[in-house]
Amino acid sequence: MKIGIIGLQHLGCVTAACLAHLGFDVIAYDNPLDTDTIKKILAVEPGLNELAQPSFTNNLLDLAVCDIAWITFDVPVNDNDIADVNSVFQNIEKIFPILTPHTLIIISTQLPVGSIKKIQAYSKENFPNKHFRFACIPENLRLGQAIKSFCYPQRIVIGIENAEDKTQLLEVVSRINSKIIWMSIAAAEMTKHALNAFFANSIVFINELAQLCEKLGIDAREIEQGLKSEERIGEKAYLKPGAAIGGGTLLRDVNYLNELATAHQIHTPLLSAIPKSNSNHQHWAVHILKQTFPSMENKIIALLGLTYKAETITLQQSPAIQLAQLFKKNGATVYAYDPNMPMLPNSFTADIELKTSLEDLLLAIDALIIINNYSNLPFTPDKLLAHVSQPFVLDPNGYLPDTFKHDKRIKYLTVGTNQCN
User: What type of residue sits at position 56?
Assistant: F
344 CB neighbour count, 10 Å cutoff: 17
Tell me if the domain spanning 185-280 has CATH number 1.20.1630.10.
no
Does the predicted TM-score (pTM) go above 0.85? yes
SS3 letters for the chain?
CEEEEECCCHHHHHHHHHHHHCCCEEEEECCCCCHHHHHHHHHHCCCHHHCCCCEEECCHHHHHHCCEEEECCCCCECCCCCECHHHHHHHHHCCCCCCCCCCEEEECCCCCCCHHHHHHHHHHHHCCCCCCEEEECCCCCCCCCHHHHHHCCCCEEEEECCHHHHHHHHHHHCCCCCCEEEEEHHHHHHHHHHHHHHHHHHHHHHHHHHHHHHHHCCCHHHHHHHHHCCCCCCCCCCCCCCCCCCCCHHHHHHHHHHHHHHHCCCCCHHHHHHHHHHHHHCCHHHHHHHHHCCCCCCCEEEEECCCCCCCCCCCCCCHHHHHHHHHHHCCCEEEEECCCCCCCCHHHCCCCEECCCHHHHCCCCCEEEECCCCCCCCCCHHHHHHHCCCCEEECCCCCCCHHHHCCCCCEEECCCCCCCC
Domain boundaries, the chain: 2-178, 185-280, 282-421
Angle (deg, nearest 10), helices 185-216 and 249-263: 110
Euclidean distance between CA atoms 330 and 220, whole angstroms: 28
Task: Report whether 83 contacts 247 (CB < 8 A).
Answer: no
Q: Answer yes or no: same fold for 2-178 and 185-280.
A: no
Question: What are phi and psi for residue 29, nearest 5 degrees?
Answer: -120, 140
Q: What is the pLDDT of residue 294?
A: 84
CATH of domain 282-421: 3.40.50.720
Contact predicate 374/304, CB 8 Å: yes
- Residue at 1: amino acid letter: M
How many CA atoms lie less than 13 Å away from 211 in the CB half-sphere? Answer: 17
Q: Rounded distance, CA 366 to CA 70, Å? A: 49
Low-confidence ranges of the chain (pLDDT < 70): 421
Give the pLDDT confidence score for residue 421 in this predicted structure. Answer: 66
| Listed residue (275, 251, 345) closest to 306, CA to CA | 345
Fold held by 2-178: Rossmann fold (3.40.50)
Can you state the angle between helices 10-21 and 35-44, rounded to 10 degrees? 70
Q: Please report the pLDDT score of residue 376 as a whole number.
A: 84
Determine contact, residues 350/330, Cβ cutoff 8 Å.
no
Nearest to 248 by CA among 192, 337, 319, 156: 319
Of 103, 91, 93, nearest to 12 by C-alpha is 91
Nearest to 18 by CA among 169, 160, 152, 174: 152
